[in-house]
C-alpha cells in the first residue's frame, strides 16, 4: 500500500489469521522479533529505552510543547491506566467526576470511580449517538461541584468517534480538569493534547501504535500531575509515584516492568515514524475501513452507524437477518484467516470488525470477497 513516505509491505506471513479487533491486534514480524532479547530492569540501556519512549510519546501528543507534558508508563492493560488516572487525579475529598457515556468503556469509567468512592455526575447518551458538547457544557455549568470531566474519544462498543475538539471547548470554558480516554485512537487519529486543553490522555501499548499488550500510558500536563501527590487510592496504581520514580531514577519503574513489551513498543514507535507518522497511519486505517464497509454492503451487511459518526478504528455491523448465526460465520472467517469481534450492544444484534494493526485495504478486500462467497451459499 502506498503512503506519503513508503510502500507498506506485510512483514509477517506466518500468522494463521489476522486479528481484525481493536487490540490486541495484528503486529509486524519485526515487532514480535523485538521481544526475543531479554532485558534487565536496572540496566542503563533498558532505562534509556524507557526515557526515549516517554519523550517520543510527548512529542506525538504535543508537538512543539513537549516540555509542558510528560508520559507515565503503567503496567497492565489500558484499564489499569484509566484507573490509575482516575484514582490519582481526583482529590480524596472535595472532588467530583463528570463522565460522558455512550458505550461500555464510558460505563467502565463510571464503575471505576464508584468503586473508588469518587462522587460522579453521569451524562448518558444512546450508544449509537455521539456525546453532545452542548449537553456537556450545560452539565458543567449547572454543577459547580464538578472538578474533573472524562470522556472516551473512540467508543469501541460501536466504533463511534466522539467530537473531541468540540467537547474540549466546552470543558475548557468550565475550567475543570479534562481526562481523555484515547485508548483506541491515540497514534491512529491526529490530535494535539495542548490544543485540546486536556490534562490527562490515556492509551495503551497494543492499540494504534501497534505494539503488544502489557502496559498502558498516560500523557499528562506536568503542572497538573505535580499537584496529584498523595491522592492515590492504590499503591501500585499511584500515577504520581510512578511518574516521580521514572523522573528521579532515569526511567526506572517502581515495580517489575514488562521489559519485552517495552522493547516491542519501541520498535512499533519506530515503524510508526517510518510509515510517515500519525497522519499517514490514519489515512491507511481510513482506507481500510472504507473498503470494509463498501465490500460488506455488497455482501448484504449494513454498518450500524452513519459514516459521519464512524471512526476508522472499528466498525459495528448489523446482523443481516434474524436467522444469522454469528458463531458459524466467525468460525468460517477464522478458518480463512480472519478473526472478528462479537457485538457489545444489547439493543441491536451486531458484530464488529477492527481496521487497525498491520492490515491494509488489500486485506479488507480479501476479507469481503470471502464474506460474499459465504453469504451466497447461505
Q: Output the DSSP codes for 320-342.
A: SSTT--HHHHHHHHHHTTEE-EE
Residue range 75-94, pLDDT digits in tens: 999 999 999 999 999 999 99
Q: Are 351 and 325 in contact (CB under 8 A)?
A: no
CA distance 344 to 359: 23
CA distance 254 to 284: 37
CA distance 360 to 232: 42
Residues 6+ apart with CB under 8 A from 188: 207, 208, 278, 281, 282, 285, 312, 313, 356
The stretch 226-245 carries a mean pLDDT of 98
Instruction: Provide the pLDDT confidence category of residue 3 given band limits of 50, 70 and 90.
Output: very low
CATH, domain 18-28+277-376, list 3.40.50.1100, 3.40.30.10, 3.50.50.60, 3.90.1150.10: 3.90.1150.10
pLDDT for the residue numbered 373: 96
In the predicted structure, residue 29 carries a pLDDT above the cut 80: yes
Give the CA-trace dihedral at 177, 78, 290, 188, to 10 degrees: 60
Three-state SS for 212?
coil
Closest CA to 319 of 340, 339, 334: 340
In the predicted structure, residue 4 carries a pLDDT above the cut 90: no
Listed by start position, the domains of the chain span 18-28+277-376, 31-273
pLDDT for the residue numbered 12: 56
Residue range 118-160, pLDDT digits in tens: 999 999 999 999 999 999 999 999 999 999 999 999 999 999 9
Give me the phi and psi of 343, to 5 degrees please. Answer: -80, 165
In the predicted structure, residue 7 carries a pLDDT above the cut 70: no
Residue range 177-196, pLDDT digits in tens: 999 999 999 999 999 999 99
In the predicted structure, residue 205 carries a pLDDT above the cut 90: yes
CATH, domain 31-273, list 3.10.450.50, 3.40.640.10, 3.40.50.1820, 3.20.20.80: 3.40.640.10
Cα–Cα distances (Å) from 351 to 40, 79, 91, 181, 345, in that order, read 42, 22, 39, 23, 9
Pairing of strands 18-19, 177-181: unpaired
CA angle 235, 221, 94 (to 5 degrees): 60
Closest CA to 165 of 124, 204, 197: 197
The stretch 262-276 carries a mean pLDDT of 98
Give me the phi and psi of 234, to 5 degrees please. Answer: -140, 145
Give the CA-trace dihedral at 348, 351, 126, 86, to 10 degrees: 140
Amino acid at each position: 500500500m502506498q503512503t506519503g513516505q513508503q510502500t507498506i509491505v506485510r512483514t509477517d506471513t506466518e500468522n494463521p489469521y489476522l486479528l481484525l479487533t481493536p487490540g490486541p491486534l495484528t503486529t509486524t514480524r519485526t515487532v514480535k522479533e523485538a521481544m526475543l532479547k531479554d532485558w534487565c530492569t536496572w540496566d542503563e540501556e533498558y532505562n534509556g529505552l524507557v526515557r526515549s519512549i516517554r519523550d517520543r510519546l510527548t512529542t506525538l501528543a504535543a508537538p512543539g510543547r513537549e516540555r509542558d507534558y510528560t508520559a507515565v508508563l503503567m503496567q497492565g492493560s489500558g484499564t489499569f491506566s484509566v484507573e490509575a488516572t482516575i484514582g490519582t487525579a481526583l482529590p480524596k475529598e472535595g472532588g467530583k467526576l463528570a463522565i460522558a457515556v455512550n458505550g461500555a468503556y464510558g460505563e467502565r469509567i463510571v464503575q471505576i470511580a464508584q468503586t473508588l468512592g469518587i462522587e460522579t455526575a453521569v451524562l448518558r447518551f444512546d450508544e449509537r449517538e455521539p456525546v453532545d458538547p452542548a449537553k456537556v457544557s450545560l452539565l458543567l455549568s449547572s454543577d459547580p461541584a464538578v472538578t474533573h470531566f472524562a470522556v472516551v474519544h473512540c467508543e469501541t462498543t460501536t466504533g463511534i468517534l466522539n467530537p473531541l475538539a468540540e467537547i474540549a471547548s466546552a470543558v475548557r470554558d468550565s475550567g475543570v480538569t479534562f481526562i481523555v480516554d484515547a485508548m483506541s485512537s491515540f497514534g491512529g487519529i491526529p490530535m494535539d493534547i495542548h490544543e485540546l486543553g486536556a490534562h490527562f490522555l490515556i492509551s495503551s501499548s497494543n492499540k494504534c501504535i501497534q505494539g503488544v499488550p502489557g502496559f498502558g500510558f498516560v500523557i499528562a500536563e506536568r503542572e497538573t500531575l505535580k499537584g496529584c501527590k498523595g491522592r492515590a487510592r492504590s499503591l501500585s496504581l499511584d500515577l504520581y509515584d510512578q511518574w516521580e520514580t521514572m523522573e528521579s531514577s532515569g526511567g526506572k519503574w517502581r515495580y517489575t516492568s514488562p521489559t519485552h513489551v517495552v522493547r516491542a513498543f519501541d520498535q512499533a514507535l519506530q515503524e510508526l515514524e517510518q510509515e510517515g507518522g500519525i497522519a499517514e497511519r490514519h489515512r491507511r486505517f481510513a482506507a481500510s475501513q472504507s473498503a470494509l464497509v463498501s465490500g460488506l454492503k455488497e455482501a448484504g451487511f449494513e454498518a450500524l452507524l452513519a459514516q459521519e459518526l464512524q471512526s476508522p478504528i472499528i466498525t459495528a455491523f448489523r446482523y443481516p437477518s434474524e436467522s444469522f448465526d454469528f458463531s458459524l460465520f466467525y468460525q468460517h472467517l477464522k478458518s480463512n484467516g480472519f478473526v472478528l469481534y462479537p457485538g457489545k450492544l444489547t439493543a441491536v444484534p451486531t458484530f464488529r470488525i477492527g481496521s487497525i494493526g498491520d492490515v491494509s485495504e488489500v486485506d479488507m478486500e480479501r476479507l469481503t470477497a470471502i464474506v460474499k462467497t459465504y453469504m451466497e451459499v447461505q
